Amino acid sequence: MAVFHIVLFKLKPGVTPAQVEEFKKACKAMVGQVPGLREIHTNAPLAMTAARAKGYDMALLAILEKPEDISVYAVHPSHLVVQNLREELCDDALAYDLEF
């Protein structure tokens, strides 16, 4: 069963579109490097439902092969690079993991 790792982000004031693109590129670069990471997607909320996003500006969806892969993902050097970028760009983040 696949695991869906969902993270919502509240960007700091002044974060530029170029910084967001750098973050997205670093996220995509993890695919093929992190064992068990099948795919990853990042984007802003849909304009038609953005008011319900409660201040979260962007989300990440990572699809992993199995629950154990979350532990590998969390400490992988590629993820640590992304995590450092997240800390630079975001005031807050909310993570939620599901298995289907």
* pLDDT tens by residue, 27-60: 999 999 999 999 999 999 999 999 999 999 999 9
Any idea what the CATH number is for the domain that residue 63 is in? 3.30.70.100
Q: What is the pLDDT of residue 57?
A: 97
* pLDDT tens by residue, 6-16: 999 999 999 99
Query: Count of domains in the chain?
Result: 1
Q: What is the largest CA-CA distance in the chain?
A: 39
CA distance 85 to 7: 14
Q: What is the strand order of the sheet 37-43 is part of?
A: 37-43, 58-64, 3-11, 90-99
Please count the other Cβ atoms lying within 10 Å of the Cβ belonging to residue 3: 20
Q: What is the pLDDT of residue 5?
A: 98
Domain hosting 69: range is 3-99
pTM of the model: 0.93
